[in-house]
Structure 1
Amino acid sequence: MVFQGSSVAISHTGKVRANNQDSGYAGANLFVVADGMGGHAGGDVASHLAISRLESLDHPFGSPPEAERALADAIADAAVELIDTVHVKPELAGMGTTVSALVMVDDYAVIAHIGDSRIYLYRDDALTQITTDHTFVQRLVDSGRITPEEARYHPRRSVLMRVLGDMDADPELDTFIMPTQPGDRWLLCSDGLCGVVDDAHTAKAMGLGMAPGRTADNLLKQALDAGAPDNVTIVIVDVGGQHPLFSGTPTIVGSASNPIGIDVPAARPGRPSWLHPNRQAANEPSHFEPAAEFLEELIEEDRRRARGRRIGWAVGVVLVLVLLAAAIFGGYQWTQTRFYVGADEDSVVIFRGIQQNIGPIALSQPHEDTGIELDSLSEFARTTVESTISAESLDDARRIVDSIAATGEVIP
């Protein structure tokens, strides 16, 4: 049956890019985000071709498994189309695109995904990332070598391990089926959004209850306010809900909304399905991945960076300890330039240091025993000496002692 709900698709070049290589599609049952890559023209063409190939799936399906098979086949067809296009236009070699697609079938969402665009589900006031990024840093996260927060700022966060490109006619996709329900809100986006707006702010915008269009505008504004270093494409799909239903005309945004300007060859006949047990590409690499030596270089670079961080922390700790020790030593040395008059068990004593202690550490010690007996002093003088009398110098302390010896009293 035709999907009952509402949706929107918007795309923006961002504040840094000269052109928009993203494409987005919001139709009756099909919703897609594709983030192109491969130079000024290549990314445009790749995302455009992916959307064009998937458009034919925008119709009701008999069952979720049928839709899942159709999605996988259409994306594999798009891969072949990219390869054939490069044969016609060799200057486009190296182009590719992410694809995150969603087909609504009855009470199910059928998902196909490759690359680092994302699909989220907002349900019961919680935002959940449904797809997994096919990136180098995600592998580091999965292996426990870095945290998700570190991955957001990792210098290699844009290195894709899987992508729909012109090098692999049989791309390795993630496909799965999930139940959906009225009130669910689905978000498909390129990394121009999720790379700069964190999940907490995205969840807050998704939970405001605004119509899909206003919600998408809110998220786009956050991306632009954060600098929008990449193209930003957003597709929001509400299941049921109070907002107007689909109007019947699909919304196509980004590169896919413009003429492609290239005579793309027709798909080659007789290409075996990627699900066929004897498919042609069975013995070829299952996904786009940097060359082994490049991947090893990235891994070694990350190891060096990790070692550098550990060394940096160690040096920082040592430096702090050295500075702390120097401060303590300097402070102690200063205390040894101070003097005061006090008492031991039975006589008046000149002490070097200050009257305070740091825990069990004494900051003073007897310097001169004056020989003046405490019993020879008046009650007031004895109490004053036992409470200690600060002196400005050793000579000043001796002057105080001479005064006590002469009068038996403490003279200010």
Structure 2
Amino acid sequence: MVFEGSSVAISHTGKVRSNNQDSGYAGSNLFVVADGMGGHAGGDVASSIAVHRLKDLDHPFATPTEAEVALQQAISVTATVLIDTVSERPELAGMGTTVSALVMVDDYAVIAHIGDSRIYLYRDDALTQITTDHTFVQRLVDSGRITPEEARYHPRRSVLMRVLGDMDPDPQIDTFIMPTQPGDRWLLCSDGLCGVVDDAHISKTLGQGLPPGRTADLLLKQALDAGAPDNVTVVIVDVGGSHPMFSGAGTIVGSASNPRGVEVPAARPGRTSWLHPGRQAANEPTHFEPAAEFLEELIEEDRRRARRRRVWWIVGLAVILAVLAAATLGAYSWTQSRYFVGADDDTVVIFRGIQQDLGPISLSSPYEDTGIELVDLPFYQRLAVQQTISARSLANAEAIVETMRRTLEDAP
């Protein structure tokens, strides 16, 4: 079949960043999200170059394989363009961008991906992440060292291990072909969305059946309500839906939509390299660390962090147990300073402790058997002893017993 459906692309600077380094594209057959990085202007330029290079692929392809090859080649050429751009404009050194692209060919979706932007498929009320993040924390998840939930809050979650940049003329790009069907809803987004809005809320929004434009607006609102610490770009594609078929020129959003091109300011003195940034907050820009030795350094750092966490957990548990033990010992010591008069078998006994028990643990013990027989006591005293008589102190308990002795002596 010929691809029919509707699509939308939106992009927002967010609530923290001063400029939008994302770019996005939604056309008739091609859909792209690119999340730039590398300083105030470098990311703008990188994502803009990527989108403008790839938008030429927005035309029908004879086969999905032909589209896959074209995507692979176009992204590789874009890497060369980025390298050439930096050689002409050294102030852009270190710039890079993620690329997540989707081409519809007949009944197939052709996907190309590098970085940590994402492509999701919503089908039959279920959301599936189609692409794999090329990040340090994803490697930790894949190796079973941390859980996906821990990855969302890991201090190194912004470190990319693969990216389209000015340092690698032959980037490693994931490409594959998937069958698609009427009713499918595809979502392409930068981590400004998926980094702050979890999959459950994304799935719920996509499942409301609203047109792509309204759905994208709701997703953007959720990101903004969550603080939007990064740029947010959303592209939604409906396959064979009830909404009008896309027609006309493609929609370009983000930095690539600037009709004057991206304005690059002069490099600022003392600017920190994005290879080794001084990270001040969790919402600082994503950065790229491709070296294998750096990956080993990060893994070792994560091991040290895990060991420190275990040590602190052990220390914290030991402190809690010590406090509980001290409190228990103190409470028990207090009980042993109390006395009461009660019955043990057939005699009156002074007990040390309190009348209550703590489960199977008795909080009292016989202190002195007075030798007074219960049967010799008047009825009211015998009943009082059997129900126990509290004493303020040992002397008070002895005084109570002495009163009983006098009562027996005075009896006729």
Task: Quote the residue 1:185 is aligned against.
Answer: 185
Give the Cα–Cα distance (whole angstroms) in 1 for the partners of residues 9 and 168 of structure 2: 29
Partner of 1:213: 213
User: Identity of aligned pairs, percent?
Assistant: 77
What is the match of residue 11 of structure 1? 11
Where does 1:44-123 land on structure 2 (aligned, <5 Å)? 44-123=44-123
- SS for the counterpart of 2:406 is helix
User: In structure 1, what is the Cα distance between the partners aligned to 2:350 and 2:256?
Assistant: 91
Q: 1:164-220 deviations in whole A, cap 9, x for unaligned?
A: 011111111111111111111100000000000000111111111111111111010
Instruction: Tell me: CA distance 1:312–1:187, structure 2 relative to 1, closer, same or farther (3 Å).
Output: same
1:48 aligned partner, one-letter code: S
Matches of 1:2 and 1:50, distance apart in 2: 26
Separation in 2, partners of 1:120, 1:165: 24
AA aligned opposite 2:253: V
Q: Which residue of 1 aligns with 2:291?
A: 291
* C-alpha deviation, 1:294, in angstroms: 2.6
1:375: how far off? 2.0
Q: Distance in 2 between matches of 1:226 and 1:53?
A: 33
Greater shift after overlay, 384-393 or 170-179?
Answer: 384-393
Task: State how far apart, in whole Å, the 2-side matches of 1:247 and 1:366 are.
Answer: 95
- Structure 1 residue 2 displacement after superposition: 5.0
Tell me, in whole angstroms, the C-alpha distance in 2 between the residues paired with 1:408 and 1:73. 111
| 1:282 aligned residue | none
The answer on 1:260 being equivalent to 2:261 is: yes
Provide the rounded CA distance (Å) in 1 between the counterparts of 2:362 and 2:2: 84
CA shift in 2, pair 1:407/1:261, >3 Å: closer
Q: Does 1:33 align with 2:30?
A: no
1:9-408 equivalences under 5 Å are: 9-258=9-258, 259-260=260-261, 289-408=289-408
Contact 1:381 1:408 in 2 (8 A): no
Distance in 2, Cα, partners of 1:85 & 1:218: 37
Q: Distance in 1 between the 2:391 and 2:211 partners?
A: 78
1:339–1:354 Cα contact (<8 Å) kept: yes
Structure 2 residue ranges without an equivalent (≥5): 265-287
Q: Structure 1 residue 380: deviation in Å?
A: 4.2
Q: Distance in 1 between matches of 2:131 and 2:297?
A: 27
Measure, in 2, the Cα distance between the counterparts of 1:247 and 1:226.
34
Partner SS state of residue 159, structure 2:
coil
Partner SS for 1:300: helix
Q: Say whether the 8 Å CA contact 1:108–1:177 is kept in structure 2.
A: yes
Q: Which residue identity is paired with 2:129?
A: Q
**Structure 1: unaligned runs, 5 residues or longer:** 264-287
Query: How many Å separate the matches in 2 of 1:133 and 1:113?
Result: 9
Whole-Å Cα distance in 2 between the matches of residues 294 and 166 of structure 1? Answer: 19
| CA RMSD, Structure 1 to Structure 2 (Å) | 1.6
* Counterpart code for 1:391: A
SS class of match (2:113):
strand
How far is 1:408 from its partner?
Answer: 5.0
Residues 336 and 353 in structure 1, CA contact (< 8 A), matched pair in contact too: yes
Could you tell me whether the CA contact under 8 Å between 2:41 and 2:263 is conserved in 1? no
Distance 1:211 1:408 in 2: 97
Partner SS for 1:367: strand
Note the C-alpha offset of 1:336. Answer: 1.1
User: TM-score, normalization: structure 1?
Assistant: 0.90
Aligned-pair CA distance for 1:289: 4.6
Q: Secondary structure at the match of 2:178?
A: strand
Residue aligned with 1:348, SS: strand
Q: Deviations over 1:344-392 (max 9, x none)?
A: 1221111110112223322111122222111212344323312211122
Shifted more, 87-96 versus 128-137: the winner is 87-96
State whether residues 17 and 230 of structure 1, in contact with CA within 8 Å, keep that contact through their aligned partners in structure 2: yes
Q: Which residue of 2 aligns with 1:281?
A: none
**Aligned partners of 1:153, 1:302: CA distance in 2, in Å?**
13
The residue matched to 2:160 in structure 1 has which SS? coil
Deviations 1:283-309 (A, max 9, x none): xxxxx7533443232122111110111
Deviations 1:301-355, CA, capped at 9 Å, x for gaps: 1111101111111111111111110111011011012111011122111111011
Moved over 6 A (4+): none
Query: What amino acid sits opposite 2:80 in the alignment?
Result: V
TM-score normalised by L of structure 2? 0.90
- Contact in 2 for aligned 1:339/1:352 (Cα 8 Å): yes
3-state SS of paired residue (1:172)? coil
The amino acid across from 1:18 in the alignment is S
